[in-house]
C-alpha cells in the first residue's frame, strides 16, 4: 500500500450528509489513501445512548465512504474532550498507518493554531485551566476559552464550539506523541453542531436524532442523509429506552451517599451532592432530571457521562487516570480496508482484535483486560437500554462486517 491512511475521529450518531462531505473532502487530499475511522462504541461523548449499535453505525460509515472502522473504547467515550481525543488519536497512531488526521472545525482562523496548541499543552496552561474551573466556577469549555484568550487575545474563538474544542484536543495529542502525521481541518457547512431544527441538505446530528426520537418522523430526514444510508435507517430500530436509564440510575443510587457516587466517577463532590438532591425528578424523563442539575459549570453532557460512569461500576481511580489504549478493535471494513489491515499486521504497535473469542486474561496486560471488560459491560448495558435485555454477550457473537 503506497499511501498511509487519512484518519477521522467520529461518532456517526447517525451518519449524515455533513459526514459524507467530510469524507469527500478528505479523499480530495490524497485520492488513493484509505479512510480509517475510529468511532465511539455504543455510548457517545455527550454521555448519550447511541441511536444504533456500534456495528450498525460502522456499516453506515463504510457505506458513506470509509474503508476501515475501529472502535474507540468506552473508557474514552464517557469522558471529557481531552480524554476522548487522547484515546482516539492514540488508537489511530497505534495502527502505524496514520498519515493525516482530518477533522471538522466550526470555522477557519487567522490565529497561529499550532502555536496555540503548543501553549495549551504546557503545565502553565493546564494549571490555569484547573484554577479557572475551581475558583471562577467555569465550565470545561469556558475555562479553556479563557486560557486561550489570556494567552492570545482573540484566540478564544478557536476553542468555541464542540468541533473546535475537539480539534485542539487532537492537535495536543499529536504534539505530545511527537507524531509526524499532518492535520487537515475541514470547515463545517450547514447547521450548527447543536442546532435542533432540520436544515436543507446539511443538518446537525442533534436535529436528526430529535426528529427520529421525539417526533418519530423518519421521512423528514430523507434529504439530510445519503440515499443509501436512508435505506438502511428505514429498516432499523430507532427507539431508545431513556426511561430505563433513569430507573437504572435511581436503583443504583437508592441508598447512595454523595461519597459513594464520588468514588464511582470523576465528578466533584459538589456535583455528586447535587445529583442526589434532585433524585425525585428521576421519575420523569432523563432530560427533565438532568436539566434540574445543569449549571454554568455543569453541562448536560458532563452529567450524562457521570450517570453512565456510575452504571458501569468502576472505581474513581479508573475514571481519573489517563488510560493508555491497549488494543485495536475492528468493527467494519471494505476491500481497501482489508488491504490496510494486512499492512497493519506489520506496523501496528498494539494487538488487533478481529473476532473476540473467550477472554484469556492471563495472555494480556492489566490495561487490556480492564478496557475490554468495560466495553463488554457497556454493550450489555446498551441492549438493556434498547429494550433487548436478552441480547447479552454480543461482543463475543458479532464479527467485524466486511462490505
pLDDT tens string 23-70: 999 999 888 999 999 999 999 999 999 999 999 999 999 999 999 999
pLDDT band at 84 (very low <50, low <70, confident <90, very high): very high
Residue 359: its pLDDT value, please? Answer: 66
Q: What is the mean pLDDT of residues 284-303?
A: 90
Residue 327: its pLDDT value, please? Answer: 96
pLDDT digit string (tens) for 348-358? 999 999 988 76
> Where in the chain do CATH 3.40.50.620 domains reside?
1-106+161-236+324-403
Q: What is the mean pLDDT of residues 90-114?
A: 89
Residue 339: its pLDDT value, please? Answer: 97
pLDDT band at 266 (very low <50, low <70, confident <90, very high): very high
Residue 1: its pLDDT value, please? Answer: 59
Q: Is the pLDDT of residue 213 over 90?
A: no
Q: What is the mean pLDDT of residues 8-34?
A: 95
Q: What is the mean pLDDT of residues 159-188?
A: 91
Q: What is the mean pLDDT of residues 333-340?
A: 98
| In the chain, % of residues over pLDDT 90 | 70
Q: What is the mean pLDDT of residues 219-232?
A: 95
Question: Could you tell me how far CA 167 lies from the centroid of its own chain?
Answer: 13
Give the highest mean pLDDT range of 59-73, 118-132, 181-195. Answer: 59-73
Q: What is the mean pLDDT of residues 94-119?
A: 88
Q: What is the rounded average pLDDT for all residues in the chain?
A: 92
Spatial distance between the Cα atoms of 104 and 126, rounded to a whole number of angstroms: 24
Residue 199: its pLDDT value, please? Answer: 85
Residue 393: its pLDDT value, please? Answer: 92
Residue 268: its pLDDT value, please? Answer: 92
Q: Is the pLDDT of residue 110 over 70?
A: no
Residue 303: its pLDDT value, please? Answer: 96
Answer whether CATH 2.60.40.10 is correct for domain 1-106+161-236+324-403: no
Residue 113: its pLDDT value, please? Answer: 82
Stated pTM of the model: 0.93
Residue 68: its pLDDT value, please? Answer: 98
Residue 396: its pLDDT value, please? Answer: 92
The region of weakest confidence among 14-28, 64-78, 190-204, 212-226 is: 190-204
Residue 2: its pLDDT value, please? Answer: 64
Q: Is the pLDDT of residue 319 over 70?
A: yes
Residue 362 CB neighbour total at 10 angstroms: 5
Q: Is the pLDDT of residue 294 over 70?
A: yes
Q: Is the pLDDT of residue 109 over 90?
A: no
The region of weakest confidence among 43-57, 92-106, 151-165, 370-384 is: 151-165
The region of weakest confidence among 191-195, 233-237, 341-345, 377-381 is: 191-195
Amino acid at each position: 500500500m503506497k499511501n498511509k491512511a487519512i484518519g477521522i475521529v467520529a461518532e456517526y450518531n447517525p451518519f449524515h450528509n455533513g459526514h459524507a462531505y467530510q469524507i469527500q473532502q478528505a479523499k480530495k487530499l490524497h485520492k488513493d489513501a484509505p479512510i480509517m475511522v475510529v468511532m465511539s462504541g455504543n455510548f457517545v461523548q455527550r454521555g448519550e445512548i447511541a441511536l444504533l449499535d456500534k456495528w450498525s453505525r460502522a456499516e453506515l460509515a463504510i457505506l458513506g465512504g470509509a474503508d476501515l472502522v475501529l472502535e474507540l473504547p468506552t473508557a474514552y467515550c464517557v469522558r471529557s474532550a481531552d480524554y476522548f481525543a487522547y484515546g482516539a488519536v492514540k488508537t489511530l497512531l497505534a495502527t502505524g498507518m496514520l498519515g493525516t488526521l482530518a477533522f471538522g472545525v466550526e470555522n477557519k482562523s487567522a490565529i497561529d493554531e499550532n502555536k496555540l496548541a503548543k501553549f495549551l499543552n504546557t503545565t502553565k496552561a493546564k494549571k490555569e485551566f484547573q484554577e479557572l474551573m475551581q475558583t471562577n466556577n467555569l465550565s470545561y469549555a469556558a475555562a479553556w476559552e479563557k486560557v486561550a484568550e489570556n494567552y492570545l487575545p482573540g484566540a478564544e474563538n478557536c476553542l468555541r464550539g464542540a468541533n473546535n474544542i475537539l480539534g485542539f484536543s487532537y492537535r495536543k495529542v499529536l504534539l505530545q506523541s511527537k507524531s509526524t502525521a499532518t492535520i487537515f481541518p475541514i470547515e463545517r457547512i450547514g447547521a450548527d453542531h447543536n442546532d435542533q431544527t432540520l436544515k436543507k441538505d446539511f443538518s446537525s446530528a442533534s436535529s436528526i436524532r430529535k426528529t427520529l426520537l421525539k417526533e418519530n418522523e423518519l421521512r423528514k430526514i430523507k434529504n439530510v442523509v445519503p440515499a443509501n444510508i436512508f435505506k438502511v435507517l428505514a429498516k432499523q430500530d430507532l427507539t431508545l429506552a431513556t426511561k430505563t436509564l433513569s430507573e437504572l440510575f435511581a436503583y443504583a443510587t437508592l441508598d447512595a451517599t454523595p461519597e459513594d457516587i464520588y468514588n464511582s466517577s470523576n465528578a466533584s463532590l459538589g456535583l455528586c451532592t447535587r445529583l442526589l438532591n434532585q433524585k425525585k425528578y428521576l421519575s420523569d424523563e432523563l432530560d427533565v432530571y438532568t436539566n434540574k442539575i445543569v449549571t454554568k459549570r455543569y453541562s448536560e453532557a458532563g452529567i450524562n457521562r457521570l450517570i453512565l460512569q456510575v452504571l458501569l461500576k468502576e472505581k474513581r481511580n479508573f475514571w481519573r487516570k489517563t488510560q493508555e489504549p491497549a488494543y485495536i478493535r475492528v468493527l467494519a471494513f471494505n476491500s481497501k480496508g482489508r488491504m490496510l489491515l494486512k499492512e497493519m499486521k506489520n506496523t501496528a504497535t498494539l494487538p488487533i482484535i478481529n473476532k473476540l473469542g473467550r477472554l484469556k486474561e492471563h495472555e494480556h496486560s492489566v490495561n487490556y483486560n480492564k478496557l475490554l471488560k468495560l466495553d463488554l459491560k457497556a454493550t450489555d448495558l446498551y441492549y438493556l437500554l434498547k429494550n433487548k435485555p436478552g441480547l447479552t454477550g454480543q461482543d463475543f457473537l458479532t464479527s467485524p462486517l466486511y462490505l
